[in-house]
């Protein structure tokens, strides 16, 4: 067996690799990417099976080439090259005796990356449809005048400031209570952060509506809103969710599963305020309708009252005439009856007077009788003894006498 130094071995490897094609179209995922001050781009490309890395290689894009590739890629794909992105790169295999194997990238096809992203999106959409949750949040009733709004955003985001200004400075003076739930709104941690905010909102149990907003950004910045776990949570959230992610061109899956999708945070604020305006207009219309119906009823009842007044006036005259006739008849009857009763009573009194007069002691005395008193009391069955003083009353005199003798009978 021939013995080789490491350098000699590497030279043989280099010569062997030089026999390969001038370049290959390689499919890989960007594991790391860095651009130095000179403008050269250094990458680590990986291939994964599930989450396991099964292949890895260094790659370089020299400054001049990188400027052209990055500009073209960003214009077509809508985002810059970044970690986690799948690419189709045209690369030449190079080998250096000291630095080993590397790929010198000459070109990158942005359409492949777009296709891979769309493929991943479709897989998420299909899974959500299979789960039966795509329309769940849309089925919730949206409150016309939400009094308490939970906002998921970053406080420093321009979109958050636009939303708050639009909400606070509305021309109608509506007051809406809102609470910010801080969250990362882009990058690999965004999905987990937004889900955490949703859990906090659910625990608070004091919210009518949830708003997820952020400012504009590249397409790649929005990739987190195509995440299955995040979209699944939004779809099944028990309160209506409004999205204003701030991208005019593309619709994320989070937009698709939310109750209502709007393009920008300002549009979300306008949508909420429009609900207030519609509700106020509806109330004012109800008030006008009630007022008009009330006025109509009042007019009808007024006409009825006027008609009744006219009828009552005529009927009252007739009734008064009838009652006057009845009163006159009753007056005459009472007068006649009273006179008859008075006459009868007078005759009765005269008869009683005659009887009383007949029993009057003065009449008896005039007939020759006398009344004898002892000690001021009429003498009836009292015993009179010798020496008693008696008074005798006649019709003409009052006689005092002393008993000298008595005789029993």
List per-residue pLDDT tens for the chain, 409 residues long: 778 888 878 788 888 877 777 789 999 999 999 999 999 999 999 998 887 889 999 999 999 999 999 999 988 887 788 888 899 999 999 888 888 889 999 999 998 888 888 888 889 999 999 999 999 999 999 998 999 999 999 988 878 999 999 999 988 889 999 999 999 988 778 999 999 999 999 998 889 999 999 876 666 667 889 999 999 999 999 999 999 986 656 689 999 999 999 999 999 999 999 999 999 999 999 999 999 999 999 998 888 888 888 877 777 778 888 888 888 888 888 888 888 888 888 888 888 877 777 777 777 777 777 888 878 788 776 677 777 787 888 877 888 888 788 777 6
Nearest Cα residue to 64 out of 81, 41, 42, 45: 41
158 and 217 assigned to the same domain: yes
Last residue of a domain, one of 79, 108, 137: 108
165 and 231 assigned to the same domain: yes
Examine residue 200 and state whether it is found in any structural domain, yes or no: yes
Q: What pLDDT is stored for residue 144 in this prediction?
A: 85
Q: What pLDDT is stored for residue 409 in this prediction?
A: 67
61 and 185 assigned to the same domain: no
100 and 152 assigned to the same domain: no
Strands (E) located in 97-184: 100-108, 148-153, 177-182
Examine residue 319 and state whether it is found in any structural domain, yes or no: no
C-alpha 79: how far from its chain's center? 42
Last residue of a domain, one of 242, 277, 312: 277
CA distance 103 to 83: 17
272 and 187 assigned to the same domain: yes
Last residue of a domain, one of 108, 130, 162: 108
181 and 243 assigned to the same domain: yes
Supply the pTM of this predicted model. 0.60
260 and 218 assigned to the same domain: yes
Whole-number Cα distances in Å, 341 to 189, 200, 409: 117, 101, 54
Residue 402 φ/ψ region, left for φ over 0, alpha for ψ in the -120 to 50 degree band, beta for the rest: beta
Q: What is the DSSP letter of 139?
A: G
127 and 270 assigned to the same domain: yes
Examine residue 170 and state whether it is found in any structural domain, yes or no: yes
Sign of CA dihedral 14, 16, 19, 22: negative
371 Cβ neighbours under 8 A, 6+ residues apart: 361, 365, 378, 392, 393
Structural domain that includes position 270: 121-277
Examine residue 166 and state whether it is found in any structural domain, yes or no: yes
Examine residue 286 and state whether it is found in any structural domain, yes or no: no
84 and 134 assigned to the same domain: no
Strands (E) located in 65-165: 86-96, 100-108, 148-153
Decide: 167 and 273 in contact? Cβ < 8 Å: yes
Q: Beta strand 100-108 with 86-96: parallel, antiparallel or unpaired? A: antiparallel
Q: What pLDDT is stored for residue 249 in this prediction?
A: 61
Examine residue 162 and state whether it is found in any structural domain, yes or no: yes
82 and 162 assigned to the same domain: no
Nearest Cα residue to 234 out of 208, 260, 214: 260
93 and 133 assigned to the same domain: no
Nearest Cα residue to 209 out of 241, 256, 163, 166: 241
Decide: 144 and 174 in contact? Cβ < 8 Å: no
How wide is the angle at C-alpha 42 spanned by C-alphas 40 and 48, nearest 5°?
A: 155
Examine residue 131 and state whether it is found in any structural domain, yes or no: yes
**Polymer length in residues for the chain:** 409
In the three-class reduction of DSSP (H, G, I as helix; E, B as strand; rest coil), residue 289 is classed as helix
Decide: 149 and 268 in contact? Cβ < 8 Å: no
Task: Report, in angstroms and rounded to the nearest whole number, the Rg of the chain calculated over CA atoms.
Answer: 61
Examine residue 299 and state whether it is found in any structural domain, yes or no: no
CA distance 246 to 265: 7
| Residues 194, 199, 201, 206, Cα dihedral to 10° | 170
Decide: 121 and 83 in contact? Cβ < 8 Å: no
Query: Residue 222, Cβ neighbours under 10 Å: how many?
Result: 26
**Residue 37's domain is classified under what CATH number?**
2.40.50.140
How many folded domains does the chain comprise? Answer: 3
Q: What pLDDT is stored for residue 218 in this prediction?
A: 61
90 and 26 assigned to the same domain: yes
């Amino acid at each position: 067996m021939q013995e080789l130094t490491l350098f000699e071995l590497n030279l043989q490897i280099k010569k062997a690799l030089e026999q390969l094609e001038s370049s290959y179209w390689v499919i890989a995922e960007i594991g790391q990417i860095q651009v130095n001050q000179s403008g050269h781009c250094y990458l680590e490309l990986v291939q994964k099976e599930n989450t396991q890395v099964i292949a890895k290689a260094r790659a370089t894009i020299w400054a001049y080439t990188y400027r052209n590739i990055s500009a073209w890629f960003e214009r077509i794909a809508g985002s810059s090259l970044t970690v986690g992105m799948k690419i189709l790169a045209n690369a030449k295999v190079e080998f250096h005796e000291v630095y080993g194997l590397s790929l010198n990238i000459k070109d990158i096809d942005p359409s492949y990356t777009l296709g891979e992203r769309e493929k991943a999106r479709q897989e998420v959409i299909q899974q959500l449809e299979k789960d039966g949750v795509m329309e769940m949040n849309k089925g919730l009733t949206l409150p016309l005048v939400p009094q308490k709004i939970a906002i998921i955003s970053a406080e420093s985001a321009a979109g958050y400031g636009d939303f708050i200004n639009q909400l606070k400075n509305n021309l109608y003076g509506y007051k809406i209570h809102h609470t910010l739930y801080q969250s990362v709104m882009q990058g690999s941690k965004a999905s987990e952060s937004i889900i955490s905010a949703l859990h906090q909102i659910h625990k608070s149990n004091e919210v009518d509506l949830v708003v997820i907003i952020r400012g504009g950004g590249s397409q790649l910045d929005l990739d987190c809103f195509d995440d299955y776990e995040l979209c699944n949570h939004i779809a099944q959230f028990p309160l209506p969710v409004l999205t204003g992610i701030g991208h005019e061109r593309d619709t994320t899956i989070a937009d698709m599963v939310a109750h209502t999708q709007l393009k920008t945070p300002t549009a979300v604020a306008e949508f909420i305020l429009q609900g207030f305006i519609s509700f106020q207009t509806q109330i004012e219309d109800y008030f006008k309708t009630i007022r008009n119906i009330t006025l109509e009823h009042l007019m009808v009842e007024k006409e009825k009252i006027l008609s009744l007044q006219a009828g009552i006036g005529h009927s009252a005259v007739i009734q008064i005439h009838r009652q006057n006739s009845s009163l006159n008849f009753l007056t005459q009857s009472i007068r006649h009856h009273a006179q008859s009763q008075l006459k009868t009573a007078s005759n009765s009194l005269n008869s009683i007077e005659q009887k009383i007069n007949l029993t009057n002691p003065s009449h008896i005395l005039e007939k020759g009788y006398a009344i004898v008193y002892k000690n001021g009391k009429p003498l009836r069955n009292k015993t009179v003894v010798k020496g008693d003083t008696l008074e005798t009353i006649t019709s003409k005199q009052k006689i005092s006498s002393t008993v000298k003798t008595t005789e029993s009978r």
